[in-house]
Structure formats: structure tokens, C-alpha cells
Amino acid sequence: MDDDVSRMLYVLTRLTRARRILEIGTSIGYSTVSLANAVKGYDGKILTIEYEQHVAQQALKNFERAGVARNIEVKIGDAREIVPRIREHFDLIFQDVGDKGLYPLLFDDCVRLLRPGGLLLAEDTLFPVMGLDSRGTRSVAPIQKFNEMVADSSLLESTILPIGDGLTVAVKMG
Ligand SMILES: C[S@@+](CC[C@H](N)C(=O)[O-])C[C@H]1O[C@@H](n2cnc3c(N)ncnc32)[C@H](O)[C@@H]1O
């Protein structure tokens, strides 16, 4: 993740004082630490989901090292199975899963899990206009579909910030 995206995550989290955060796609936890640094002053909590066991283990070590482990719960497994089963609501959801097919697949669940006034953030949403090489092109169609779902949703107001590979910022109305 680019430094400007991680700083934006920190700023948006502080600005909204989000207490309960869901992150989909942990990797080794760089973005999770940004979110956790923003919430640790008021004891906010992050639930983050990662598919790869060894990657999640490294993230847990990084959270200890960064002094934010008490603010973070890591669920290891497939987000497409975990997210539909979640029942609690969140102030902020950050979608950054590696398999971009999950962006449109989990869109309705993300909107359901967001409290009114909550923020949906999503990384890489300018992929469709970036002229990606062949490795990236299979991500374009699902991101395009996700962008249309966000833009067409009567429950969201949104924009895409041109930082990193594009960061969607959407607020749930109502
Ligand atoms: C782009 S990385 C996340 C980066 C992280 N948010 C950051 O900025 O530091 C995407 C992660 O999603 C994970 N992933 C891919 N498919 C997944 C799935 N179905 N469920 C959960 N995690 C998945 C990958 O293993 C990878 O670590």
C-alpha cells in the first residue's frame, strides 16, 4: 500500500472516530496498523480477515511489534465464507482483498454491515482506467462491476480519490 493511502486511512478513521472497523484483506498488516494507530487512543477495535495462514501469522507478529495487538482481531479464512456470517455493525469497512472478484461478491454484505453514516473504503478502484498489464487485467472487470454497484447504490454517496491505485470513499446514507 502506498504511504498516501495509509495516511488517508489514518485521517479518515480519526476524522470519523470509527470505533468498530472491518478490514477484508490483511496481508502482513501494514494498513491494519494505520487503522489501529488511529483507534488506539479511544480503544477502537479492528476485525481483519486474511486467507493465508503464514501471512496472517506474520501480521500478528507485526501487530505485537507495533504495540497495537490489543486493538486487532485476526480471522484466518476465506472472506467469502466469513463476511456473510458476520452479524455486528461497523463504523468503517475497508475492502482490500487480493481476489478482486470478492469486491462485487461481498458488496451487499458490506453495505448491510455498515451502520448509517459509516464509511466504506476500497483500494485499487482506479484499476479500470490504469492500463494494467496482463497480470492485472483480470482484476479490471470485477472492479468495474464494484464501481458501478457503488455508484448505483441508493444507500451510498461516494467518490474515488486518485491516490495509490484509487481509493473509493463511500458513506452510507440514512
Ligand atoms: C492487497 S493484500 C492486503 C494488503 C493490506 N490491506 C495492506 O494494505 O497492508 C490482499 C490480501 O488478501 C488476501 N486474500 C485473497 N483472497 C482472500 C480471501 N478469499 N479471503 C481472505 N483474504 C484473501 C491475500 O492473501 C492478501 O494477503
What is the rounded average pLDDT of the residues 155-174?
A: 97
* pLDDT value of residue 135: 67
Mark residue 166 as left, alpha or beta (left: phi above 0; alpha: psi -120 to 50; beta: remaining): left
Please give all residues whose beta carbon lies within 6 A of any atom in ligand 1, as ranges. 1, 25, 27, 30-31, 49-52, 55, 78-80, 96-99, 102
Cβ count within 10 A of residue 14: 14
Name the closest-CA residue to atom 1, ligand 1. 98
50/28 Cα distance (integer angstroms): 9
Question: For 40, how many CA atoms within 13 A lie in the half-sphere containing its CB?
Answer: 15
Q: Domains in the chain: how many in total?
A: 1
What is the rounded average pLDDT of the residues 10-24?
A: 98
- Which CATH number goes with the domain that contains 166? 3.40.50.150
pTM given for the model: 0.97
Residue with cell 495516511: 7
Instruction: Output the DSSP codes for 150-174.
Output: HHH-TTEEEEEE-STT-EEEEEE--
Ligand 1 centre to CA of 127 (Å) is: 17
Question: Ligand 1, residues 35, 47, 51: which to mutate, most atoms within 8 A of Cβ?
Answer: 51
For residue range 129-156, list pLDDT tens digits in order: 888 777 677 889 999 999 999 999 999 9
Domain that holds residue 52: 3-172
